[in-house]
Structure 1
Amino acid sequence: MRELILLRHAHAEPPAAGQDDLARALSPTGLDEARAAGDWLREHGLKPDRVLCSPAARTQQTLAALGDLGCGDVREADAIYEASPGTLAELADAHHDARRLLLVGHNPGLEQLAALLHSGQSGDYRGMPPAAIAVLTFAEAAAIEPGAASLSQFWWP
């Protein structure tokens, strides 16, 4: 079995006037949520083989606040920022050599990807609050495509 873990960034501060969206930081609540997400991942033994993280400050801070997940392969992936579910699926498929891949990113792409991979449809699905984690499980040889995954775990703070 292979796993794809989707982590939406935690609560961020509202944008300041004229601020670039990429620069938005986590709020104090968001930092607490991200720490709780890291605790949950460790408690469930979900150590990723590889982490791909959006370049946005709020995703980078979410990843840092998770604490030590025991993964030495952490990469910034520009394609995650403002990505469609199709782009995210292609990115995950390009990293099929990782048995457990963690994507740290944004909505609506992540929640639509979770729905697409699990149910085969993305539609207007809204189901990943800030700092939520969806764990999708694939058969060993399965491609990352619509309806190919089981939603094995879901958590939010």
Structure 2
Amino acid sequence: MRLGCLYEMLHVTPPMGPPDMLKGSPLADEAGWLNLNNHTLQHQVYPNVFGIGDCTNLPTAKTECRRSAQSAVLDRTISPVRKNAQPDKKYDGYTSCPLVTSYNTVILAEFDYNGQPLETFPLHQNKERRTMYQKADLMPTLYWHGLLR
């Protein structure tokens, strides 16, 4: 008897967890993630602490596109908060997951905290497209040579 399955595609994700240096610190929530307000990215207890990225407890996928959207919000949040004013921008949970469907096509899934589509291109992204593959292919270059500068 053969126990096994054949897969056309298998996507394996390594286990994820909060950084060891954050676990158990006063900045962490019960699970060890940086304890932030979902919309302002400001710490729930310490108002002078903000965060973005993979160490946060925000209920989104841990993707590069998410960090880019978070940094744009953070840019417009820190200054007003430091001046005791309300920020004029809130993070809506934007995240993007490129789903590779062939050697040269992608469906770009972009959505908010509620799982609602947030399409950032002037065309329907619910179809596999070569142009979305090219965007996904360019992201590492844009990240390392553009966004980090």
Common fold: TM-score over 0.5: no
Q: TM-score range by the shorter chain?
A: under 0.3
Give the structure-1-normalised TM-score. Answer: 0.24
Give TM-score, length-normalised by structure 2: 0.25
Higher helix share: 1
